[in-house]
Structure 1
Amino acid sequence: MSRMIDYGKLMHAAMRRLIQDVLMGVQKDGLPGAHHFFITFDTTHPEATMADWLRDRYPAEMTVVVQHWYDNLNVTDEGFGITLNFGDAPENLYIPYDAIQTFVDPSVEFGLRFEQQSDDDEEDEDEDDEDLLDEDGSLDDEDMEDASEDRHGDAPRTEAEVVSLDSFRK
Structure 2
Amino acid sequence: MAKTIDYGNLMHDAMRGLIRKVLDGVAKDGLPGDHHFFITFDTMHPDVELADWLSDRYPEEMTIVIQHWFDNLDVTDDGVAITLNFGDSPEPLYIPYDAIRTFVDPSVEFGLRFETQDYDVEEMEGDEIPHDAEVKSFERKDETDTSGTATDGPKEAEIVSLDKFRK
Whether TM-score is above 0.5 comes out as: yes
Are residue 58 (structure 1) and residue 34 (structure 2) matched?
Answer: no
Q: CA deviation at 1:123?
A: 5.6
Residue aligned with 1:95, SS: strand
Spell out structure 1 runs of 4+ moving beyond 4 A: 122-126
When you count strand as a share of all residues, which structure comes out higher? 2
When you count helix as a share of all residues, which structure comes out higher? 1
Alignment partner, residue 115 of structure 1: 115
Distance 1:61 1:123 in 2: 30
Contact 2:36 / 2:66 at 8 angstroms: preserved in 1?
A: yes
Distance 1:2 1:123 in 2: 7
Alignment partner, residue 106 of structure 1: 106
Alignment partner, residue 73 of structure 1: 73
Residue aligned with 2:107, SS: helix
Residue aligned with 2:71, SS: strand
TM-score between both structures, scaled by the size of structure 2: 0.72
Residue aligned with 1:8, SS: helix
Are residue 31 (structure 1) and residue 31 (structure 2) matched?
Answer: yes
Distance 1:13 1:57 in 2: 30
Contact 2:2 / 2:122 at 8 angstroms: preserved in 1?
A: no
Work out which of the two has the higher radius of gyration on C-alpha atoms and give 1 or 2. Answer: 1
Distance 1:30 1:83 in 2: 14
Distance 1:123 1:61 in 2: 30
Percentage of pairs with the same residue:
71
Q: CA deviation at 1:117?
A: 1.0
Q: Count how many residue pairs are aligned between Structure 1 and Structure 2.
A: 126
- List alignment gaps of at least 5 residues for structure 1: 130-170
Partner AA of 1:6 in structure 2: D
Mark the CA change 1:2 to 1:73 in structure 2 (over 3 Å): closer, same or farther. Answer: closer
Residue aligned with 1:119, SS: coil
Alignment partner, residue 85 of structure 1: 85
- List alignment gaps of at least 5 residues for structure 2: 129-167
